[in-house]
Amino acid sequence: MNSWQSLRVSSIAPSATLGMTDKVKQMRALGENVIGLATGTPDFDTPSYIKESGKLAIDEDITYMVYTVSMGLPELRQAISNKLKIQNSISVSPDQILVTIGVKEGIFNAAQACFNPGDEVLIPTPTWVTYDACFVLAGVVPVFVQSNAANNFKVDPEILESKITKNTKAIMLNSPNNPSGAVLDLETLSAIADIAQRHDLLVLSDEIYEHMVYGLSKHISIASLPGMEERTLTLNGFSKSYAMTGWRVGYVAGPKAIIKNIAKIHGHSVTCAASFAQKAAEVALTGPQDDLKKYIATLHLRREQLVSGLNSIPGVNCLSPDGGIFCFPNISSLGMSDVDFSTYILEEAKVSSLPGSAFGPGGDGHLRMNFARRNAEDIDEAVERIRRALMKL
């Protein structure tokens, strides 16, 4: 009997993140008290002024109950344009911005619009689990460029350049990085920009964690560097900074001709992002930023709390991430694979995590754990549960 399965779908694995999320939900439905540190969802409420704007959009104006312009609400694209200019030193007009259903849709559509089968895209690892799937589904070959803890998981530009072939068309960047928390500094970004220009490469820059930077680290958009605006797609959204994961609003900004092509796929596949969610996103950017500042201050505390707690467990070594919302502890000295250890603490300690090997070369022997928790007690309890579970081995 025909299985009706394409070669494309058979070439990718299910999302490890969503798989763990579903498993935790199932365990909770059965009454298990699971502390969830696996997913990329901040455990914080969407700020009240944003929620209210979404409600008002539904209640007061039919404009937000119908399709918007496929590119996105004009007022939202203008707000994004202003934001990119002021915060990121990127000059793009509203017609160079496409509002998407999260960053994920932007990357998927960019892969479809910008590349041909057999093209190659360089991806520094460890890396978010969905990047390579987006490219593989477009017939593009992902070429992993491994980094490691010795250099705080920052990609080495010389190694990056050594992977370039005649088929290389682009570089996929994510800074701050998911899962490692690495933040690319100006020197590294300048070297990558030089490589991109000399080899005529497009750069896709996922900057969803831009506000989550700690210590002396500073977020820099590669599109702000000389010669890079015309060859960079900047991808961002509202899921992390404004705790709006379920609202599903992101955007991609870049050269007009490329955005126009990405918009063709967007229009035929999803038409537009949800109207009222777009209005809420516009208010997120133009409204008061006090909640964001308090949120980032809390993340500073939670980061140090989880790093300190994990390092207090014998056999666990956790670097303090420069950015993002994840710790990436090394558990290789415990004598278990990251997959086995993640499974063990879920079953024995009722603490969810993701094995580092899910994030590509360089992730083996690590776990990804989310410290974006509103309650400090959750982190302390998770650490103690893991400690007690290890004592049973």
**In this structure, are residues 76 and 279 in contact, taking their beta carbons and an 8 Å threshold?**
yes
Check whether 1 has a pLDDT greater than 70: no
Q: What is the average pLDDT across 338-348? A: 95
Q: What is the average pLDDT across 357-381? A: 96
Q: What is the average pLDDT across 308-335? A: 97
| Residue 171: count of CB within 10 angstroms of its CB | 28
Alpha-carbon distances, residue 386 vs 88, 332, 344, 349 (angstroms): 40, 15, 9, 6
Q: How far apart are CA 196 and CA 92, in angstroms?
A: 20
Q: What is the pLDDT of residues 131-185, one digit of tens each?
A: 999 999 999 999 999 998 888 999 999 999 999 999 999 999 999 999 999 999 9
> Scanning the structure block, which residue is given the tokens 């460029």?
145
- CATH, domain range 67-286: 3.40.640.10
Q: How far apart are CA 369 and CA 74, in angstroms?
A: 37
Contacts of 91 (CB under 8 A, 6+ apart): 84, 85, 229
Q: What is the pLDDT of residues 206-256, one digit of tens each?
A: 999 999 999 999 999 999 999 999 999 999 999 999 999 999 999 999 999
Tokens read off for 125: 């690892």
Contacts of 200 (CB under 8 A, 6+ apart): 231
What pLDDT was estimated at residue 46? 97
Q: What is the pLDDT of residues 86-123, one digit of tens each?
A: 999 999 999 999 999 999 999 999 999 999 999 999 99
- List beta partners, residue 377: none
Q: How far apart are CA 274 and CA 7, in angstroms?
A: 31
For the chain, which residues make up each domain, given as ranges?
Answer: 7-46+290-391, 67-286
What pLDDT was estimated at residue 51? 97
Contacts of 122 (CB under 8 A, 6+ apart): 143, 145, 160, 163, 164, 168, 170, 171, 172
Across the chain, mean pLDDT equals 95
| Residue 95: count of CB within 10 angstroms of its CB | 14
Q: How far apart are CA 317 and CA 307, in angstroms?
A: 9
Given CATH 3.90.1150.10, say whether it is the number of domain 7-46+290-391: yes
pLDDT grade for 63, boundaries at 50, 70 and 90: confident
Check whether 61 has a pLDDT greater than 90: no
Strand 326-327 to 35-36 pairing: unpaired
